[in-house]
Structure 1
Amino acid sequence: MTAQDLSHLPREEDKVRITPKLTVDRRRNINQYVRQERIGKGQHGEVFLCKDQEAAGREVALKIMKRNNPRDRIKLLRRNQQNLRGGEVPPFSSTEHSIRKEIAVMKRCRHANIARLFEVIDDPQQDKIYIGDNLGPELNSAILMLYQSASFYLAMEYLSGGQVQWKDAEDKPILTVDETRRIIRDVVLGLEYLHHQGIIHRDIKPANLLWTKDRAIVKIIDFGVSHYSPTSELTPGSKQPEDPSDDGLFHDSDLLKRSGTPSFLAPEIVWFSDTTLKQSPAASCDTLASGSNSVTIRDGSCIPPQRPPITKAIDVWSLAVTLYCLLFGHTPFNVPESANENIYHNEFVLYNQICTRDWDVEETMGVDRVYTGGKYPRDTESEGFMVISLLDQMLQKDPNKRVTVSEVKRNPWILRGVSEPNEWIIRTSPPITKDSSSFVSRWRQASLKMLNNLPRPRRIPGL
Structure 2
Amino acid sequence: MIVLLILICTLVIVIKFTMLKLPNFQPACYGTSNGSEVNQQASDVRASSPDFKCVGSSRLPFPPVSSNSRHPLKQNQHVKVDNTCQYTQINQYLLKRSIGQGSYGIVQLAHDTLNNVDYAMKIMSRKKLLQKGGFFGRQAPQRNKFAKNSGTISHPLDRLRREIAVLQKVDHPNVVKLVEVLDDPAQDNLYLVFELLELGPVADVPNGNRIEETQARKYFRDLLLGIEYLHRNHIVHRDVKPANLLVGRDGRLRIADFGVCTEFCGSEDVLLDNTVGTPAFVAPEQLTGQFYGKAADIWAMGITLYVLIYGILPFSGTNVLTLYESIRNQELSFPGVQDLTSALLKDLLTRLLCKDPSQRITVSEIKEHPWVDSRRSFRKENCVSETDGAIFVEGLLPEVFSVPYFASLVKSVFSQHSV
TM range (shorter): 0.5 to 0.7
Secondary structure of 1:77's partner?
coil
Secondary structure of 2:291's partner?
coil
Q: Is the 8 A contact 1:68 1:93 kept in 2?
A: no
Given the alignment, which residue of 153, 171, 189 partners 2:191? 153
Alpha-carbon distance in structure 1 between the residues aligned to 2:222 and 2:372: 10
Given the alignment, which residue of 284, 289, 298 partners 1:316? 298
Given the alignment, which residue of 337, 361, 364 partners 1:403? 361
Please name the residue that 2:96 is paired with.
36
Secondary structure of 2:292's partner?
coil
Q: Does 2:325 match 1:370?
A: no
Alpha-carbon distance in structure 2 between the residues aligned to 1:7 and 1:104: 18
Aligned residue type for 1:270: L
* CA 26–93 in structure 1, closer or farther in 2 if over 3 Å, else same: farther
Q: Is the 8 A contact 1:68 1:96 kept in 2?
A: no
Deviation, structure 1 residue 178: 1.0
Please name the residue that 1:359 is paired with.
332
Secondary structure of 2:321's partner?
helix
Secondary structure of 1:11's partner?
helix
Larger radius of gyration: 1
Secondary structure of 1:412's partner?
coil
Task: Give unpaired runs (5+ residues) of structure 2.
Answer: 1-62, 139-152, 389-419
Please name the residue that 2:186 is paired with.
126
Deviation, structure 1 residue 317: 0.3
Deviation, structure 1 residue 46: 0.8
Q: Does 2:380 match 1:425?
A: yes
* CA 194–78 in structure 1, closer or farther in 2 if over 3 Å, else same: closer
Alpha-carbon distance in structure 1 between the residues aligned to 2:362 and 2:71: 29
Aligned residues: percent identity?
A: 33
Secondary structure of 1:76's partner?
coil
Alpha-carbon distance in structure 2 between the residues aligned to 1:70 and 1:101: 14
How many aligned residue pairs are there?
Answer: 309
Please name the residue that 1:111 is paired with.
172
Q: Is the 8 A contact 1:113 1:219 kept in 2?
A: yes
Alpha-carbon distance in structure 2 between the residues aligned to 1:178 and 1:415: 12
Alpha-carbon distance in structure 2 between the residues aligned to 1:325 and 1:225: 22
Alpha-carbon distance in structure 2 between the residues aligned to 1:74 and 1:425: 43
Q: Does 2:172 match 1:199?
A: no
Q: Deviations over 1:387-423 (max 9, x none)?
A: 222122211222222222232122111011453x4xx
Aligned residue type for 2:360: R
* CA 226–349 in structure 1, closer or farther in 2 if over 3 Å, else same: same
Please name the residue that 1:100 is paired with.
161
Q: Does 2:119 match 1:60?
A: yes
Q: Over the residues paired in the alignment, what is the CA RMSD in angstroms? A: 2.8
Given the alignment, which residue of 264, 286, 296 partners 1:269? 286
Q: Does 2:203 match 1:221?
A: no
Please list, as runs of the form range in 1=range in 2, the aligned pairs for 1:166-185 lying within 5 A after superposition: 171=208, 173-185=209-221
Deviation, structure 1 residue 95: 2.2
* CA 333–69 in structure 1, closer or farther in 2 if over 3 Å, else same: same
Alpha-carbon distance in structure 1 between the residues aligned to 2:257 and 2:107: 12
Of 22-31 and 353-362, more deviation after overlay is shown by 22-31
* CA 44–70 in structure 1, closer or farther in 2 if over 3 Å, else same: closer
Q: Is the 8 A contact 1:166 1:329 kept in 2?
A: no
Deviation, structure 1 residue 270: 2.3
Q: Is the 8 A contact 2:204 2:243 kept in 1?
A: no
Deviation, structure 1 residue 103: 0.8
Please list, as runs of the form range in 1=range in 2, the aligned pairs for 1:323-338 lying within 5 A after superposition: 323-335=305-317
Secondary structure of 2:296's partner?
helix
Secondary structure of 2:96's partner?
strand
Q: Is the 8 A contact 1:167 1:174 kept in 2?
A: no
Q: Is the 8 A contact 2:110 2:120 kept in 1?
A: yes
Q: Does 2:17 match 1:17?
A: no
Secondary structure of 2:240's partner?
coil
Deviation, structure 1 residue 195: 0.8
Please name the residue that 2:135 is paired with.
76
Aligned residue type for 2:75: I
Q: Is the 8 A contact 1:38 1:46 kept in 2?
A: yes
Please name the residue that 2:200 is paired with.
162
Alpha-carbon distance in structure 1 between the residues aligned to 2:330 and 2:232: 31
Aligned residue type for 2:380: I
Q: Is the 8 A contact 1:166 1:325 kept in 2?
A: no
* CA 93–363 in structure 1, closer or farther in 2 if over 3 Å, else same: closer
Secondary structure of 2:106's partner?
strand
Aligned residue type for 1:34: L
Alpha-carbon distance in structure 2 between the residues aligned to 1:397 and 1:363: 23
Deviation, structure 1 residue 159: 0.4
Q: Does 2:118 match 1:50?
A: no
Q: Is the 8 A contact 1:68 1:95 kept in 2?
A: no
Q: Is the 8 A contact 1:167 1:326 kept in 2?
A: no
Aligned residue type for 2:170: C
TM-score by length of 2: 0.67
TM-score by length of 1: 0.61
Please name the residue that 1:348 is paired with.
321
Please name the residue that 2:346 is paired with.
388
Secondary structure of 1:323's partner?
helix
Secondary structure of 2:108's partner?
strand
Q: Is the 8 A contact 1:72 1:93 kept in 2?
A: no
Alpha-carbon distance in structure 1 between the residues aligned to 2:108 and 2:175: 19
* CA 213–78 in structure 1, closer or farther in 2 if over 3 Å, else same: closer
Q: Does 2:61 match 1:26?
A: no
Q: Is the 8 A contact 2:119 2:196 kept in 1?
A: yes
Q: Deviations over 1:300-321 (max 9, x none)?
A: xxxxxxx342322111000000
